[in-house]
Chains A and B, each alone.
Chain A
């Protein structure tokens, strides 16, 4: 059976469909363009909110690090971990800074202060936190991780990134950075200090004499065949350091009973030169930046 359909009104249907498509298309384009515009607007509001929060955090952190009267007033209120000081009624006087601000300073750990500020501009809110850690003194160079409180005279020490040979005329102190090599040649008679970063290599020829100090970060490598009778300097390592001696890794631990080297087999003369580094920072160095979050 054939159904006959009337075609009257088809033009109206087509017109409605076309209008619908146009409306959807136009709506999509307008929505997209509006979103794009608002995103730019919000981005700028976010930036200003970030500048506000960072301005507060930096200003207060600077007072704490600089141990000013303002900074000390905050520090004095932070005795135990978890203590928190609310910074109230923050106002940027003399600057037309938009938005609202709040901030607090918290002693999150014994050695850590967190300075946090929150700012809202328009509909955007940003939070910035500066983490300050207690400054125990000592070098800020990588070797300081193993030797807290160790001061390195960075103005006079010679930084070595490639290779340096030490002979009987060599004087001064050396900082072996990264994969640097320090070679004690046969004629060496060295009484200075060597600061050896993890990954550096110290090669000792048979006739070399040494009466100084080596601060060897965990991961330092020592190469020699036989030590001279006058190779009698001290090699400091941290408790638990792993150093490579003659191609083999040894772990140095120190306790009340003395020094332990694991596994056995380290050259006895060399082992006798190893000492535990016992220095530490005194914590009187104030506070310093670690990271911004």
Chain B
């Protein structure tokens, strides 16, 4: 039995593996899957960071705008605008209608993402 025949017999017996590393197709498919996973991860983490930023933004603007409503100096918050206008609070007791005149104070951030409004009745 020559060497070629011996080798053939061993392959048939399953004693020797003839596959070494990945095939080109496997490498391409694996790379594609890895790329998709990376893309999804990057997109997911990007979304997460964006949401945290936006949430933090809302929080800071909300605190600033509510402080302005509560009477804090507007100068302390450059990104908040405040306006006041007259109006009244209307309500009914039974069939009788009542009105209380007063002032509406609003506080809005420059991007108009956060806005608060409060009513203060006129002093007697």
Q: Which residues of A contact B (CB under 8 A)?
A: 15, 19, 22, 26, 29-30, 32-34, 36-41, 43-44, 47-48, 51-52, 54-56, 58-60, 62-63, 66, 68, 70, 73-74, 77, 85-98, 103
Stretch at the interface among B1-9, B48-56, B74-82: B48-56
Q: How far is the CA of A259 from the CA of B52 in the complex (A)?
A: 72
CB-nearest residue of chain B relative to A18? Answer: B37
Known: A33-B55, A55-B119, A74-B93. 16 other contacts (CB 8 A): A26-B41, A26-B45, A29-B45, A39-B55, A44-B62, A48-B117, A51-B117, A56-B89, A56-B119, A58-B121, A66-B124, A73-B98, A89-B91, A90-B89, A94-B85, A95-B87
Contacts of A15 in B (CB 8 A): 33
Min Cβ gap B40→A in Å is 7
A-B contact pairs, 11 of them (CB 8 A): A19-B37, A29-B48, A33-B49, A33-B51, A33-B55, A37-B51, A40-B59, A44-B116, A62-B100, A95-B104, A97-B117
Contacts of B104 in A (CB 8 A): 92, 94-95, 97
Q: How far is the CA of A68 from the CA of B124 in the complex (A)?
A: 8
A96–B117 CB distance below 8 A:
yes
B93–A88 CB distance below 8 A:
yes
Min Cβ gap B1→A in Å is 29
- Contact flag A95-B85 (CB < 8 Å), given A33-B55, A55-B119, A59-B100: yes
Min Cβ gap B80→A in Å is 13
Min Cβ gap A72→B in Å is 11
Q: Which residues of B contact A (CB under 8 A)?
A: 33, 37, 40-41, 44-45, 47-49, 51-52, 54-59, 62, 66, 69, 85-93, 96, 98-100, 102, 104, 106, 114, 116-121, 123-124
Q: How far is the CA of A44 from the CA of B119 in the complex (A)?
A: 17
Q: Is the interface of A mostly helix, strand, loop or mixed?
A: helix
Contacts of A93 in B (CB 8 A): 87-90, 99
Selected from A30, A44, A103, the residue in CB contact (under 8 A) with B58 is A44
A73–B96 CB distance below 8 A:
yes
CB-nearest residue of chain B relative to A60? Answer: B100
Most buried by A among B59, B100, B106: B100
Selected from A34, A37, A51, A70, the residue in CB contact (under 8 A) with B116 is A51
Q: How far is the CA of A66 from the CA of B47 in the complex (A)?
A: 54
Contacts of B85 in A (CB 8 A): 94-95
A29–B44 CB distance below 8 A:
yes
- Contact flag A51-B69 (CB < 8 Å), given A29-B44, A73-B96, A93-B90: yes
CB-nearest residue of chain B relative to A95? Answer: B104
